[in-house]
Amino acid sequence: MTPAIYALLFVLLAPVFGGLLAGIDRIVSARMQGRVGPPLLQPFYDVGKLLQKRTRQINPIAEPLLIAHLGYMAATGALLLGGTDLIFTVFVYALAALLLVLAAGSANSPFSFAGAERELVVLLASEPFFILMMVAVCKVTAASTFGGVLASSQLVAVQLPGVLLAFVVVATIKLRKSPFDISISHHPHQELVSGLTSDMSGRLLAYVELAHWYESALLCAFMVLLFNWSVPLGLLAFAVAYALEVLVDNATSRIKWQLVLRSTWAATLLLCGGNLLALFVMGR
């Protein structure tokens, strides 16, 4: 199969993957809390319902921005699997995230605006890591594309255990999990109401949710990069990491943005940077 087909498959299947993941997440979370929980397909029902609901827009610019956010999120995955340069992919990913910030900031509401500001903080917390991670992956595999990394004879995770650990830490931000869910959380019970999405309704919220499903699939693809010998192994690693995220989500409270920044940068610098330094020192 050509990379183009992979890209197309990502665009088509990632929402199914992300939605099912969210469904499993909700059931597992509920069980950890001693609840029965919703049916597996509940996220799909939710998005279907959101699409049917009347949409109220504070600022008409929000909708094109959110469609672009969804589009870029899908494009990030498509570009990754389609064989584009890894570092370029990370920049497209950052752009996708930025569009959500712009959409939230466009609503003239204090909660939404404060959510947008906090999302900028978490972007600041996570983006350096993703760039560093891709640099590291490119360095150890001497390849710069998804296919190239998968074809490499080096098992990335063995070379980059620090990067793997830091990835699990930083992915918490992207998966909107406690303790790092400061700008938006899965349930709207926080000091910023629903943060970023406070002023989004109906299909706008559905776009955000769909984009999040793409994002989950994208993070899974990143994990596959780290376990480049075998795709099933990468999926398994992602499942383990995700289960860990859910457990931590159910065992911590939300922390404040200062600590989010400090802990993710500490993870990036110590784990990721230390790992790279070690490789450098060992002369590879």
Question: How far is it, in rounded angstroms, from Cα 185 to Cα 174?
Answer: 11
| Closer Cβ to other proteins, 121 or 279, answer by number | 121
Phi and psi for 11 in degrees, rounded to 5?
-60, -35
Total length of the chain: 284
Q: How far is the CB of 261 from other proteins (least distance, A)?
A: 13
Question: How far is it, in rounded angstroms, from Cα 194 to Cα 182?
Answer: 10
Q: How far is the CB of 66 from other proteins (least distance, A)?
A: 22
Q: How far is the CB of 221 from other proteins (least distance, A)?
A: 28
Q: How far is the CB of 278 from other proteins (least distance, A)?
A: 22
What does the block give as tokens for 201? Answer: 């309704």
DSSP letters spanning 104-132: HHHS--HHHHHHHHHHHHHHHHHHHHHHH
Q: How far is the CB of 192 from other proteins (least distance, A)?
A: 8
| Closer Cβ to other proteins, 187 or 282, answer by number | 187
| Closer Cβ to other proteins, 152 or 263, answer by number | 263
Residue 10's Cβ-count burial label (10 Å; 0-12, 13-18, 19+) is buried
| Closer Cβ to other proteins, 102 or 255, answer by number | 255
Question: How far is it, in rounded angstroms, from Cα 22 to Cα 179?
Answer: 18
Question: How far is it, in rounded angstroms, from Cα 239 to Cα 140?
Answer: 24
What does the block give as tokens for 257? Answer: 């943005």
Residues 6+ apart with CB under 8 A from 281: none
Between the alpha carbon of residue 267 and those of residues 68, 131, 236, the distances in Å are 31, 14, 23
| Closer Cβ to other proteins, 224 or 246, answer by number | 246
| Closer Cβ to other proteins, 40 or 155, answer by number | 40
Q: How far is the CB of 56 from other proteins (least distance, A)?
A: 16
Q: How far is the CB of 229 from other proteins (least distance, A)?
A: 29
Question: How far is it, in rounded angstroms, from Cα 146 to Cα 143?
Answer: 8
Binding site for other proteins (CB under 8 A): 28-37, 110-111, 114, 178-179, 181-182, 185, 187-191, 193-194, 247-248, 250-257, 259, 263
| Closer Cβ to other proteins, 32 or 102, answer by number | 32
* Largest Cα span, the chain: 60
